[in-house]
């Protein structure tokens, strides 16, 4: 009957890689979510452009060029906002720094686009005022060139999913994100997530998961839900790793035990229901 459960799940767009994962899901106790692309759409809109000593269009161009080799949702959004074709011959020496951003040479000039951590790493003073949104700071030849403020939206489906999980037997919901604290806390508040950890580097996410393992009971299961390349180690470490399969990265899909093809967090509720029903039939 576990095979029946797997079949039922797959008809709802939930791919389960083994009957043991479906069985374990009925004992889910703590559910940990990544933010960007998992609970939010992962589609960022440009809100404001604050250039220094150049035009907004030029700042956006530098950011789009610097980021053009990245598949990060932020990069994809910048390419869209820029809207023009990228001349790859102008770009050399590209390096993506996980959890920070990208550095590249554009027309031979060293450019950088990423968060505050990236600017600190490069020793470049940047705008440190309170911002509501995610800032992409840009520097050219070691000089700050301004920032682009972007923002993402919560998936409407996430709200319903968290609400339902909290009404079921889930002990705790947690959000782990590399994004800044203001954005992280605002998102967690909207969704009613119990606990939020922000400004995490990919390695920090695994450390937080290890801490959360201490909080569950012996038989309870720890679930992690993510979509990004940098979520793969966390997906692998969790009792049950669930990946978003639609826009999710190949690394996340590969590392996961369960894949939600529709990218809807509410499918976790569906999967838990199928798991419990299958267990009853099996016993
Ligand atoms: P999350 O945990 O929210 O999925 P990531 O670990 O991918 O996020 O990124 C954390 C933060 O690092 C982002 O919010 C962003 O500020 C910054 N960042 C990562 N990659 C890029 C990039 N390609 N361009 C700009 N900023 C980036
Ligand atoms: Mg993500």
Please provide the DSSP assignment of 14-74 as one string.
Answer: EEES-HHHHHHHTTEEEEEEESTTTTB----EEEEEEESSS-HHHHHHHHHHHHTT--SHH
Report how far residue 269's alpha carbon sits from residue 263's, in angstroms, rounded to the nearest whole number.
Answer: 13
Report the pLDDT value the prediction gives residue 279, as an integer from 0 to 100: 83
Class of domain 45-151: alpha beta
Q: Which H or E run contains 221? A: strand 221-226
* Predicted TM-score of the model (pTM): 0.92
Report the pLDDT value the prediction gives residue 281, as an integer from 0 to 100: 75
Report how far residue 53's alpha carbon sits from residue 145's, in angstroms, rounded to the nearest whole number.
Answer: 7
Q: Which ligand is nearest to the CA of 100?
A: 1
CA nearest 161: which of 29, 241, 271?
Answer: 271
Residue ranges matching CATH 3.40.50.1000 in the chain: 2-41+154-282
What backbone phi and psi angles, to 5 degrees, belong to 64?
A: -65, -40
Report the pLDDT value the prediction gives residue 195, as an integer from 0 to 100: 98
| Cβ < 6 A, ligand 1 pocket | 34-36, 67, 70, 72, 74-75, 99-102, 113-115, 134, 136, 177-179, 202, 228, 230
Residue ranges matching CATH 3.40.1110.10 in the chain: 45-151
Report the pLDDT value the prediction gives residue 169, as an integer from 0 to 100: 81
Q: What is the four-CA torsion angle of 270, 259, 216, 213, rounded to 10 degrees?
A: -170
Report the pLDDT value the prediction gives residue 248, as an integer from 0 to 100: 86
Give the per-residue SS3 of 75-141.
HHHHHHHHCCCCCHHHEEEEEEECCCEEEEEECCEEEEEECHHHHHHHCCCCCCCCCCCEEEEEEEC
Determine the distance separating the centroid of ligand 1 and the alpha carbon of 268, expressed in angstroms.
Answer: 25
Report the pLDDT value the prediction gives residue 280, as an integer from 0 to 100: 81
Instruction: Give the position of tokens 């012996």.
Output: 218
What backbone phi and psi angles, to 5 degrees, belong to 222?
A: -105, 120
Q: What is the CA radius of gyration of the chain?
A: 20
Q: Which atom of ligand 1 is nearest to the CA of 97?
A: 20
Report the pLDDT value the prediction gives residue 261, as an integer from 0 to 100: 97
Per-residue pLDDT of the chain (283 residues; tens, 9 = 90+): 556 789 999 999 999 999 999 999 999 999 999 999 999 999 999 999 999 999 999 999 999 999 999 989 999 999 999 999 999 999 999 999 989 999 999 999 999 999 999 999 999 999 999 888 999 999 999 999 999 999 999 999 999 999 999 998 899 999 999 999 999 999 999 999 999 999 999 899 999 999 999 999 999 999 999 998 889 999 999 999 999 999 888 999 999 999 999 999 999 999 999 999 988 876 6
CA nearest 240: which of 26, 49, 5?
Answer: 26
Domain 2-41+154-282 has CATH 3.40.50.300: no
Report the pLDDT value the prediction gives residue 283, as an integer from 0 to 100: 64
Report the pLDDT value the prediction gives residue 4, as an integer from 0 to 100: 77
Report how far residue 224's alpha carbon sits from residue 207's, in angstroms, rounded to the nearest whole number.
Answer: 13
Report the pLDDT value the prediction gives residue 3, as an integer from 0 to 100: 63
Which residue's CA is the closest to the ligand 1 atom numbered 14? Answer: 179
- 227 counts as catalytic: no
């Amino acid at each position: 009957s576990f095979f029946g459960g797997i079949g039922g799940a797959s008809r709802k767009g939930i791919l389960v890689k083994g009957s043991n994962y479906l069985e374990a899901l009925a004992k889910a106790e703590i559910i940990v979510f990544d933010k960007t692309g998992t609970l939010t759409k992962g589609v960022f809109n440009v809100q404001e452009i604050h250039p220094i000593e150049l035009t907004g269009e030029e700042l956006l161009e530098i950011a789009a060029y610097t980021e053009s080799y990245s598949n990060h949702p932020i990069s994809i959004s910048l390419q869209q906002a820029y809207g023009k074709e990228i001349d790859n011959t102008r770009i050399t020496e590209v390096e993506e720094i996980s959890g920070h951003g990208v550095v590249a040479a554009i027309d031979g000039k060293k450019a950088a686009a990423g968060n505050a951590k990236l600017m600190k790493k490069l020793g470049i003073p940047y705008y440190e005022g309170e911002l509501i949104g995610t800032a992409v700071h840009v520097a050219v030849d070691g000089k700050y060139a301004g920032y682009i403020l972007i923002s993402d939206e919560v998936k409407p489906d996430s709200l319903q999913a968290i609400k339902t999980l909290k009404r079921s037997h889930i002990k705790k919901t947690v959000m782990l994100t590399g994004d800044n604290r203001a954005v992280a806390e605002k998102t967690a508040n909207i969704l009613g997530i119990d606990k939020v950890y922000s400004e995490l580097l990919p390695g920090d996410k695994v450390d937080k998961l290890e801490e959360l393992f201490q909080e569950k009971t012996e038989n309870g299961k720890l679930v992690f839900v993510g979509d990004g390349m940098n979520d793969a180690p966390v997906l692998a470490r969790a009792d049950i790793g669930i990946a978003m399969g639609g826009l999710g990265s190949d690394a996340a899909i590969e590392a996961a035990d369960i894949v939600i093809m529709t990218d809807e967090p509410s499918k976790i509720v569906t999967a838990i229901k199928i798991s419990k029903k299958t267990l009853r039939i099996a016993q």
